[in-house]
Amino acid sequence: MHTIKSLLERSAFGVCSYLGEKMGVASARVRLYFIYLSFVALGSPVIFYLFVAFWINLKKYVKHKRSLIWE
């Protein structure tokens, strides 16, 4: 069970943990609310999730490139 959980957390882009960190809420609670919203809103929060995942990856890429330039 633990290996499945760690596999899902690694491949989930870290969106829930990022949002939880920014809002000061546990990432498990953010995941739970995301699941509830997905059922209620018929999956439309998935678009928001993918947008935030793209934004986080873009932010990491820009930070990495910026640190390479200044070194």
pTM, full prediction: 0.63
Given a cut of 90, is residue 24 above it in pLDDT? yes
Which residue range forms the structural domain that includes residue 6? 2-70
Q: Which residues contact 13 (CB under 8 A, 6 or more apart)?
A: 53, 56, 57
What pLDDT is stored for residue 52 in this prediction? 87
Q: Are 18 and 56 in contact (CB under 8 A)?
A: yes
State how many domains the chain has: 1
pLDDT digits (tens, 9 = 90+) for 38-61: 889 887 888 888 888 888 888 888
Q: Identify which has the larger pLDDT, 21 or 11.
A: 21
Instruction: Supply the DSSP symbol for 61.
Output: H
Position 11 scores a pLDDT of 62
**How far out from the chain centre does Cα 52 lie?**
7
Please say if the pLDDT value at position 3 is more than 80. Answer: no
pLDDT range class, residue 25, cuts 50, 70, 90:
very high
